[in-house]
Structure 1
Amino acid sequence: MKRQSPCKYSEVANLIATTDGPARHAGRAKRATSNKPVSALGIDAQALPLPIQVPAHAHTHTHTHTPGPHTVPPTPAPRSQYRSGSLSSTGSSPFLLSNIPFSNHTTSPFFGLGSDHPFSNYWTSRGGLAEVIGVLPAKDQADILVAKYFDAVDPVYPMVHRRNFYADYDRFWSLPHAEKQTADPVLLALHFVVYAMATQFIGPPVDYKRSEIAEFYVSASQQALRLSSYLSRTSVRTLQAMVLICYFLMNDNHASDAWAFGGVLVRQSYAMGLHRDPDIIVPRCSLSDKQQRRKLWQAVFFQDTFLTVLLKLPPTATFSDVRVDSLTDELGDYLPKINGSATNGTSVNPMSISNIAQVTDIFPTYELQDRQYIRSMWHMANLVQRTVCTPRSLGTPIIRSPEEKTALVNQYHQLLDSFPPLLTTSEDGAIQDLASNPRLLRQNLFMRSNFWHCVMIIQAEEYDDGGVSCDIRGALEGARNALLAFFHFWEYLRIDAGVWWVFQHRAFEEALLMARILGTQEKPLSPNETGMSPASDTLFIAAREDAKHCLAILDMVSAPEVQKTRTDVLRTALADINW
């Protein structure tokens, strides 16, 4: 007989409780439920799907025990709401692994982030998919979350085919409960991470209950992936879910966990052949399936590239023969059907579901706009990985001579000029007009933020052996352009600006670089102002005000522990400006 061990409940374990789902499978103890329906998210505190009662199986320990009755402590131990911020936030060194454990067998936390496992164990060893099904939100609540996902997340990372998702989603929810338990676990994984991501975008930037609910949903997503054996088998849905889990972990202040999980994602993408040209590796796929694979590879590649920019670690998604321009504007089998034929002349099965149902949203109105955005970000990621990520990963100079810096900056600007104007405009009036099209506005802001951040890095690069010094004006202007995107984000999409970790961290690094440059200045840039104070330089004044504005925003959206390594560092740098 195995020795029983005590089960210590966490406060979040309460989130396992559902509202009115049927009893668990045979042999399991019935869990307590409530008849009170969970109302929709996004209205007020009462609308959150808060716990009703703790089910008998919910616990967060990992050791083996004999099933038996559990008691809930009357006062559960408080949990840490946030993890600590990244040590890279100081910007003092390009190296994050300061104590490389060559012979040290103790664990070493990367970046000082994510000391807790990101996927808390709420699940039993025998619960199976039925256990995950049992914690689904109510259907009306799920509808709200899916709509929020396609409103807030999909514009920035358009890799989920919306019509196909909704078709699978509606089909799943129409199933009887018993049949839901035999559904594809990867489908459940994608659904739950969509719920988790959407929950992050509902409510104020810092909402502890919302954070707990979102973390619970992402734990359910990871459990569904585990049940699908995702480490040894993969699919488009699997990779879509994993991409979103990575972004969720970043937003939840688990950057180091996102980095590690992203490595598995890239390996699985390689194993599936996602990095290969679809015309070569899956020539018999439909055009829409090929385009879907290209979109998904771009999402994996883009995520890996720009996370490495922030964490200053080696890029992983480095091998591919998928050409950017292969994601064409050709719609192919997306097109509406006319008299049994597609408008491009290819034959259509008259008994197909699309033809019978006369679906009106086969081709979303924003599809071509999305493809322009994807191609633009893809081209930029290609350039950034080659010119920034790869050299930094080996500690080699980004540029080796002043001439090389000038040429590289010009290359970035030429690329910018090739992008659609609506994705690059930064004029206040134009941005105000774009606010009527939030999808395009989000794409514009992410494009500008990523682009100008990289230009800032190049302009600030120094290499003494090659005579390369920081271009003060270029670095400050690049940082200000990048911060302007953050300020527009805060003005027009405040909740979103309070969620995206990547956007906030870029803004922090931009403000910090400006503050540190300004703290070393003893005279204005203009040669005509010799002998005058740096305070007479209009660029310096504007940059200092931008850094202060950024600090004020970060103070409002940062978690308490993040402030210790992010806002406090920026505040100290600003205090070192003595003019």
Structure 2
Amino acid sequence: MSTSGPSPADWCPTLAIHGIGLQSLAFASTSLANADVKDASTPVDGEKPPKNKQKRNKLTLSCHECVERKTKIGHHYLLLGVKRQTDCRYTHVANLLKETTGSASNGCRITTTSKKKYGSNGKPRIPNIADRGMLSDLRASSHGADALSIGLLSNVPYSSPSASNVFGIGSEHPFVNYWTGEGGLHDPISVLPEKIQADILLSRYFECVDPVYPVIHRQTFYADYEYFWQLKQQEKTSSTDPTFVALIFAMLALGTQFVTSTTPFQERKLTAEFYASASSQSLRIATYLSSASLRSIQAMVLLAYFLVNNNHTSDAWAFSGISIRQAHAMGLHRDPTIVTPDANLFEKQQRRKIWQAVLLQGTSLAVILSLPPPATHTDISVENPLDDSSSIAQSDFADAAYIRGCWTLANLVQETICSPRSLELPICTTVRQRSKLIADFRAVYQSFPDVFRSWDPDRITAMAKTNKRVVRQTLFLTNNYFHNLMLVYASESPDVPANIHATLDAAHDAITAFFTFFSLFEIEACAWWGFNHRAFLEALCIGNVLSETALEPEDRNKVTEGPLLVRAKADIIRMIQIMKVMGEDSEVARQRYYAVDSLSQVDHILQAAREVAELGDGDVATVLAELKPFCRLISSSKGSDKPFSTHFGVSTEVAFKIIEKAKSDGLTFVGLSGYRGTQNLAKDAFVQFSKLFRDVKGELGIKMKLANIGGGWAGISTKDAPSFTDYNKTTMDDFSSAFADWDGKLTMTTEPGRALISKAGWLQIHVINISQPSLNTDLSTNPSRVYLSAGTHHGLKEGSKISFEWHTCHPPGTTGPCVLYGPTCDSDDIILGKDANGNEKIYGPAAYGPSYCTSFNSVPPPKVIYVNYEQSMIDRYLISSIPGIMRLLTALAKEYKRVARQSLCLMNN
């Protein structure tokens, strides 16, 4: 509610009628409805003298005279001040509340929790069809709006019942740390690609990214860029602004995401992440959190878009918040003619353009995430000039029009859509409010130039041959506009139902822009995850509208309309097709083999499969057929120096029961896994594997296809051991005998061991400090303490209780025992070594490489090779993955068919 009118002295609050109080937003604690109280100012015969007046702990928001006199006029408290012919005077608190709540004309918005409609499950009904999905149990744990759990293709902030995962997938930081502590700007500059390669990536950036997010002024950037490359290496480090280096790397990272080459997706991804990390490091060197500049904000805006494209929307939201705060600190939200009157026209133009970029990014993420708008306070007018007549600042007319169009739309969307959706409130509560808002949207659309409005797929395809930049801008702006218009029409309240036809029309126009963009720029469409977010939400909205209206008897005729169903079905099917194409090159869509080591895990898998089958267009058997479970065996480790395998897996008897139970329920195991222990000299170490394979085949009729026999080959041993040839012959003879008549393919995998192949890797560490207990201490019993730059969880886990080769850059000298410590201060950090006088290297980590490749100690994780490339359906909480979306949309399409058949039957009857 908002209030407007006379000054506080002439203003009266909303009062109660017939003793029933009306809830007021600003005066919820007004107690005039209970004012029917005897006047206790004078004693009455037979009564005790009046007590002292009791003070109220509650704030008094009513008129002073009303409170003092407790005026009562025939139970009707109507404009008491008028009846008394006196002015209503209020406390300072009441006047302050009135002033702060203000009127809508003052630009403030007051929102309260509205009366919620409840669904059949007794839970509050979300007031927007576009935000309602099929998985209500997933939405229940969201701390934000309910659209979060289903509306994103990547990680969602604050959507898990456990601790919020702010930094993307897993718990790792989105920018991998490759940098030393004292390297300074030299570190990122040293990893710049060759200029010819950098030129190609920047060209790709200006071709694909700059048209839709014009943050960089191309002419001035290239002038600084060419000057930078003319500097000598030392001059680059000493005289270059770190924020400019950060900007270059951010542009290289985005350009890499849009490269059209035969380079594998994973390699392109790692390269882009490396450039993004270099940009982040350059910003850190520039102390961007405490000293902002136009370039640093430009780099942060681009890094946020990189994070969205890299499946880290949560991190992008947080990083975008930093750029908004820094923009506020620089006064970019203020009119530059006021805060920087002495700046030239080009500088003022750049300040407006960067503020527009920050505002647009924050608003776009707020719409996708259903979170509050972050950039609402500004006095910059959209109509202020964005162009400079000087040659260096010239820009295309379409660019200026595109910026104004996006800016105007973002200003409208922030308060009218983002604010209420962030509180799960209806966008419009009255018919008049919706009519006005729709009129405002139409006015914004009419302000777009004709080139952005008058298009169809054929015309835009022809234009793409001559002016791709305008085509990209047209499709982005069209999708953004109609997506938000769809949200307006889909919103519902007790007095304003959703407009079904208008919602479907807006959703169709929005998703058509995405389909057209995909057909013209397929690689770019796969990279722009923000565009994908909106397109999926539009497809989901179409499905929700048709499904919900089909359940209402009075709306069944709307669902059975032929053209409406045909168009909706075509949109859903087209979206599924696109998701299949995108899923072929997505790391999210790859299937992993699952280790199943208990009977309860089998039950969990079966339950999840049944739930997935209910959501998708298939049965439980189809879902189970896609799973690849295997069982880990405990090995006796007989003959092994390091019996690690005694801690993981199950015995062969339990494994047989697990496989047997799974088979009875339709789940087939693909193989076994185990580890015999380090340097195992026992020749019969593989007997249990081959025997269990035979038992499973003979008694259960299952021919498993995978045998992961682990490592532990005794290539080098401190004990007397058979030659590797003899040792290997015994093992292979055992398997050859066990699988002599094995029809079909059997895949055996093993860890060859560092001694059999080569030095698989090395870890370089630095000695931070050496301390001795005392000069007189016997070092043989109380050795020196050596503190290293790596600890157990940084890489030394591989060295725990195992001997290694050590190499030092110092000349060889006297060696002796010492105690090594690392940053984690764990007991496992204590290992024995020979020498610790300087820079050290640990050779041969082999299979234990991931234990120190944590990305936290500047060592990136190793590349992961997946055995199978299909998508698993085991985990129902992976519904936000691409294949999960495909199943969801397929289920919607299946539901439409069923509802349509039922409706036609009802009509025929």
TM over 0.5: yes
Summarize the Cα distance change of 1:249–1:112 in structure 2 as closer, same or farther, 3 Å threshold.
closer
Summarize the Cα distance change of 1:555–1:267 in structure 2 as closer, same or farther, 3 Å threshold.
same
Q: Contact 1:96–1:110 (CA<8 Å) still a contact in 2?
A: no
Q: State the identity %.
A: 41
Cα distance between partner residues in 2 of 1:108 and 1:89: 22
Partner of 1:304: 362
Among residues 502, 516, 539, which one is paired with 2:530 in the alignment? 502
Summarize the Cα distance change of 1:534–1:113 in structure 2 as closer, same or farther, 3 Å threshold.
same
Partner of 2:340: 282
Partner of 1:563: 882
Partner of 1:97: 143
The one-letter code of the counterpart of 2:486 is: M
* Pairing 1:474–2:502 present: yes
Cα distance between partner residues in 1 of 2:314 and 2:135: 17
Summarize the Cα distance change of 1:523–1:258 in structure 2 as closer, same or farther, 3 Å threshold.
closer
The one-letter code of the counterpart of 2:490 is: A
SS at match of 2:527: coil
Partner of 2:195: 139
Summarize the Cα distance change of 1:513–1:111 in structure 2 as closer, same or farther, 3 Å threshold.
farther
Greater RCO, CA 8 A, separation 6+: 1
Among residues 559, 563, 567, which one is paired with 1:538 in the alignment? 563
Partner of 2:486: 456
* Pairing 1:393–2:422 present: yes
* Pairing 1:245–2:303 present: yes
Cα distance between partner residues in 1 of 2:134 and 2:423: 20
Partner of 2:275: 217
Larger C-alpha radius of gyration, 1 or 2? 2
Question: Which residues of 2 match residues 58-457 of structure 1 at below 5 A?
Answer: 96-97=142-143, 107-109=163-165, 115-182=171-238, 183-203=240-260, 207-329=265-387, 331-332=388-389, 334-335=390-391, 362=392, 364=394, 366-435=395-464, 436-457=466-487
Summarize the Cα distance change of 1:273–1:155 in structure 2 as closer, same or farther, 3 Å threshold.
same
Cα distance between partner residues in 2 of 1:159 and 1:531: 48
Q: Which runs of 5+ in 1 are unaligned?
A: 1-86, 336-361
SS at match of 1:396: coil
Partner of 1:514: 542
Cα distance between partner residues in 2 of 1:444 and 1:135: 37
Question: C-alpha displacement at 1:524, in angstroms?
Answer: 12
Summarize the Cα distance change of 1:395–1:213 in structure 2 as closer, same or farther, 3 Å threshold.
same
Residue-by-residue CA offset, 1:347-396 (whole Å, 9 max, x unaligned): xxxxxxxxxxxxxxx355x5222111101111110001121011222332
Summarize the Cα distance change of 1:363–1:90 in structure 2 as closer, same or farther, 3 Å threshold.
farther
The one-letter code of the counterpart of 2:173 is: H
Question: C-alpha displacement at 1:105, in angstroms?
Answer: 12
SS at match of 1:116: coil
Among residues 485, 488, 500, which one is paired with 2:513 in the alignment? 485
Cα distance between partner residues in 2 of 1:97 and 1:438: 41
Cα distance between partner residues in 1 of 2:581 and 2:177: 31
Cα distance between partner residues in 1 of 2:574 and 2:161: 44
Cα distance between partner residues in 1 of 2:563 and 2:260: 38
Summarize the Cα distance change of 1:94–1:298 in structure 2 as closer, same or farther, 3 Å threshold.
farther
Q: More deviation in 541-550 or 393-402?
A: 393-402
Cα distance between partner residues in 1 of 2:316 and 2:334: 24
Question: C-alpha displacement at 1:541, in angstroms?
Answer: 1.3
Q: Which runs of 5+ in 2 are unaligned?
A: 1-130, 147-156, 590-880, 901-909
Summarize the Cα distance change of 1:532–1:274 in structure 2 as closer, same or farther, 3 Å threshold.
closer
Q: More deviation in 187-196 or 105-114?
A: 105-114
The one-letter code of the counterpart of 1:487 is: F
Q: Contact 2:141–2:161 (CA<8 Å) still a contact in 1?
A: no
SS at match of 1:566: helix
Question: C-alpha displacement at 1:184, in angstroms?
Answer: 1.3
Question: C-alpha displacement at 1:108, in angstroms?
Answer: 1.6
Partner of 2:572: 547
Cα distance between partner residues in 2 of 1:387 and 1:441: 28
The one-letter code of the counterpart of 2:211 is: P
SS at match of 2:211: coil
The one-letter code of the counterpart of 2:253 is: A
Question: C-alpha displacement at 1:291, in angstroms?
Answer: 0.3
Question: C-alpha displacement at 1:327, in angstroms?
Answer: 2.6
Question: Which residues of 2 match residues 1-40 of structure 1 at below 5 A?
Answer: none
Cα distance between partner residues in 2 of 1:241 and 1:287: 23
Summarize the Cα distance change of 1:523–1:398 in structure 2 as closer, same or farther, 3 Å threshold.
closer
Q: Contact 1:156–1:443 (CA<8 Å) still a contact in 2?
A: yes
Question: C-alpha displacement at 1:571, in angstroms?
Answer: 2.8
The one-letter code of the counterpart of 1:287 is: L
Residue-by-residue CA offset, 1:64-87 (whole Å, 9 max, x unaligned): xxxxxxxxxxxxxxxxxxxxxxx9
SS at match of 1:498: helix
The one-letter code of the counterpart of 1:226 is: R
Partner of 2:752: none
Cα distance between partner residues in 1 of 2:325 and 2:337: 21
Cα distance between partner residues in 1 of 2:408 and 2:140: 25
SS at match of 1:570: helix
Summarize the Cα distance change of 1:232–1:533 in structure 2 as closer, same or farther, 3 Å threshold.
closer
Residue-by-residue CA offset, 1:449-503 (whole Å, 9 max, x unaligned): 1000001111111112xx2222110110000000110011011111111111110
Q: Contact 1:524–1:533 (CA<8 Å) still a contact in 2?
A: no
Cα distance between partner residues in 2 of 1:479 and 1:91: 21
Cα distance between partner residues in 2 of 1:89 and 1:265: 32
Summarize the Cα distance change of 1:154–1:112 in structure 2 as closer, same or farther, 3 Å threshold.
closer
SS at match of 1:159: coil
Cα distance between partner residues in 2 of 1:275 and 1:531: 49
Summarize the Cα distance change of 1:145–1:105 in structure 2 as closer, same or farther, 3 Å threshold.
same
Question: C-alpha displacement at 1:107, in angstroms?
Answer: 3.1
Summarize the Cα distance change of 1:533–1:454 in structure 2 as closer, same or farther, 3 Å threshold.
closer
* Pairing 1:575–2:631 present: no
Q: Contact 2:336–2:351 (CA<8 Å) still a contact in 1?
A: yes
SS at match of 1:326: coil
Cα distance between partner residues in 1 of 2:533 and 2:557: 34
Q: Contact 2:133–2:544 (CA<8 Å) still a contact in 1?
A: no
Summarize the Cα distance change of 1:294–1:89 in structure 2 as closer, same or farther, 3 Å threshold.
farther
Summarize the Cα distance change of 1:518–1:423 in structure 2 as closer, same or farther, 3 Å threshold.
same
Cα distance between partner residues in 2 of 1:304 and 1:114: 24
Q: Contact 2:145–2:424 (CA<8 Å) still a contact in 1?
A: no
- Alignment size in residue pairs: 458
Question: C-alpha displacement at 1:98, in angstroms?
Answer: 6.3
The structure with the largest helix share of the pair is 1
Summarize the Cα distance change of 1:213–1:123 in structure 2 as closer, same or farther, 3 Å threshold.
same
SS at match of 1:269: helix
Summarize the Cα distance change of 1:153–1:283 in structure 2 as closer, same or farther, 3 Å threshold.
same
Cα distance between partner residues in 1 of 2:353 and 2:171: 33
